[in-house]
Each structure stands twice: as C-alpha cells, then as structure tokens.
Structure 1
C-alpha cells in the first residue's frame, strides 16, 4: 500500500516537473522575443534621435507651428 502511494506521488511530481519545464521554456521564448523587440525599438529611437526627427510630443506641448 505504501509503495503504491509513493509511486503515485512520484508520477504526480514527474508530471508537475514536466509542466513547469514547458512553462519555463515558453517564458524563455517570450522573453527572447521581447528582448529583440526592445532592442529594435532602442535602435529606432537612436536613429530618430541622430536624424533629429525623434521627439515625443507630449499632450501639454504646443505644436511647432505656434
């Protein structure tokens, strides 16, 4: 009886470990994608800044034609 309980618990722990491993792998892929997107945005911002076209218009700023 005790042996069967141990085997059931071991099977449960293995399944949980596999599920967590899959979750971690998906999260790693998502983090990689987000890191690439952030790098792309940083490069775009740097390009716009060097071209002098980058500024963020804030709601309380007047447009340049005023």
Structure 2
C-alpha cells in the first residue's frame, strides 16, 4: 500500500511539473501569435502603401 501511495505522490508531482511547462509554453505561443499578427498587419499596410522596399537580384533601388 505504501508503494502505491509513493507512486501516486510521484505521479502527482510529475503532473504538476508538466502543467507548469504547458502553461509556460502556452504563454509563449500567445506572445508569438500576437507578434506574427502584428507583423502581418504591418506588411499588409506596407503593401497597401506600395512601399514594399524589397530589391530582387541586380535590380537597383528607386533612389538611384
């Protein structure tokens, strides 16, 4: 019986530790989602303004 109680205590501690990890990862995911959304909105705004600013290959930038 004591062996089972020890296993339950160990498993409970493990579940608590895993819950902390999952909670932390969810917070990180939420932050990253917000940042990606902000970047997507910024890029959409940049495209709407027509000032993408990307130079491809040997193409000269417009200020030359």
Do both share a fold (TM > 0.5)?
yes
Uncovered stretches (5+) of structure 1, i.e. residues with no partner: none
Normalising by structure 1, report the TM-score.
0.84
Uncovered stretches (5+) of structure 2, i.e. residues with no partner: none
CA distance in 1, matches of 2:26, 2:49: 35
Normalising by structure 2, report the TM-score.
0.86
Number of corresponding residues: 62
Q: Which residue of 1 aligns with 2:60?
A: 63
Structure 2 residue corresponding to 1:38, chosen from 36, 39, 45 = 36
- Displacement over 6 Å in runs of 4+: none
Cα RMSD of the aligned pairs, angstroms, is: 1.3
